[in-house]
Amino acid sequence: MQAGRLTEALKLQARQMGFSLVGVCPAGTPPHWEAFQKWLQAGCAGQMDYFHRRASAYAHPHFVLEGSRSLVMLGMNYRTEAPVEPGPGQARIARYAWGMDYHELIRCRLRRLARWLLEQAPGARVRGVVDTAPLLERSFAQQAGLGWIGKNTLLIHPQWGSYLFLAALLTDLELDYDDPFDRRHCGRCRACLDACPTGALTAPYVLDARRCISYLTIELRQMPPKELRPKIGDWLFGCDRCQEVCPWNRRPVVSEEPAFRPMPGHNPANAVEILSLTEEAFHQRFRQTPLRRPRRAGLLRSAALVLGNRPCAEGLAVLRRGLQDSEPLVRAACAWALGRYHDPAASSALERAFAHEPDEEVRQEIISALRGE
């Protein structure tokens, strides 16, 4: 089939499979390659060592698929209902994690799209990826005409905004290419930079992940720096603040994908209940959702931080029990949170826990909590 006809038919198939956006660009060194290298060298990736391990592979898509010539860039809208304001003992979850894990859903669609393409072009090489391959998706999405990279470092489309999952289908076929989205439409707007609770957007188009609430609640495997803990507020998993204030997200374009609708207890979440979960209960509840990513210790740590930032009667009781958790990270977070309750019951629990706490980092958290630091 002629390249132009094949490309148009491929785009039609992608839209019929539920992708909101589809564009095609040539395989090559991504425009943001040098900026990405500088970002890594500045240490902005924090503990996300997989970026460093695969740093050179981001230079060209042929490291993902040998012989790749074209990238079919895809976007899927995940915006559903409006966020519900959390009450006492409750917490916020980023919109993308309200429903089922998007990875498997999108991989399934990519496999179907790849099979269709192979039926049209037998012998072609094709690989679909979502989120896990060394590919600068936003850079290639801009090259494929899907939008521009905003000051919050997210891809923004004039109609769909930024609540988009990105994916790519790589192939060694030469397809018809779309024009890059060359214009940036952020103008003088600073809404995302000014709204970031932790100052993670250190400059327009620059994100220091080490300060980002999404990184602190998902990727970080230890306690966040003390000065950032209060700024996490009531975010349990991820953060949407820079998207919530973006003018390009004011238009309510709602996803029709049922899998992205909030699961019970995800909008908002019950931090008290989550802090009480056993290992088995955690896996049973979150095994098919993005919330499994930080593992039980990481999610319960974040639940404790939320309860420390938003003290409530139910929180005091579950935090005291949390001082006996098997995970040092959870105990440390509960100790810090109890130090913010200014309640005799909290002080007594901390003193009792200190008497038999074997972990030195947890002991230091208890000391700081008792001192009100």
Q: Are 192 and 200 in contact (CB under 8 A)?
A: no
Q: How far apart are CA 332 and CA 205, in angstroms?
A: 34
Tokens (6 digits) for 12 = 């039609």
Question: What pLDDT, on a 0 to 100 scale, did the predictor assign at position 80?
Answer: 95
pLDDT at 252 over 80: no
Is the pLDDT at 373 greater than 90? The verdict is: no
Domains and their CATH numbers in the chain: 3-79+99-171 (no CATH), 276-373 (1.25.10.10)
Active-site positions read 131
Question: In the structure, what pLDDT confidence band is assigned to residue 335 with cuts at 50, 70 and 90?
Answer: very high
- Average pLDDT on 73-77 reads 98
Tens of pLDDT along 176-226?
Answer: 999 999 999 999 999 999 999 999 999 999 999 999 999 999 999 999 999
Give the CA dihedral 28, 34, 39, 43, nearest 10 degrees. Answer: 100
pLDDT reported for residue 139: 98
Q: Please write the tens of the pLDDT for every residue from 31-42.
A: 999 999 999 999
With a pLDDT cut of 70, the percent of the chain lying above it is 100
Confidence of residue 276 (pLDDT cuts 50, 70, 90): very high
Q: What is the pLDDT of residue 309?
A: 98
Q: What percent of the chain clears pLDDT 90, i.e. is strictly above it?
A: 97
Task: State yes or no: pLDDT of 64 exceeds 80.
Answer: yes
pLDDT of 340-357, one tens digit each?
Answer: 998 999 999 999 999 999
The pLDDT, as a whole number, for residue 37 is: 96
Of the pLDDT bands very low, low, confident and very high (cuts 50, 70, 90), residue 57 is very high
Per-chain mean pLDDT for the chain = 97
What confidence score (pLDDT) does residue 191 get? 98
| E strand residue ranges, 151-292 | 155-156, 164-171, 201-203, 206-207, 235-237, 269-270
Single-letter amino acid code for the residue at 329: L
Instruction: pLDDT band for 322, please (50, 70, 90 cuts).
Output: very high
Q: 79 pLDDT band (50/70/90 cuts)? A: very high
Among the listed residues 220, 242, 372, 232, the one whose alpha carbon sits nearest the alpha carbon of residue 307:
232
Binning pLDDT at 50, 70 and 90, where does residue 43 land?
A: very high
Q: For tokens 């470092």, what's the residue?
A: 153
CA quadruple 87, 310, 239, 222: dihedral, nearest 10: -140
- Strands 164-171 and 126-129 turn out to be antiparallel
Q: What average pLDDT does range 263-284 have in this prediction? A: 97
- The whole-number pLDDT of residue 349 equals 97
CA–CA dist 34, 251 (Å, integer): 34
Tens-place pLDDT, residues 110-131: 999 999 999 999 999 999 999 9
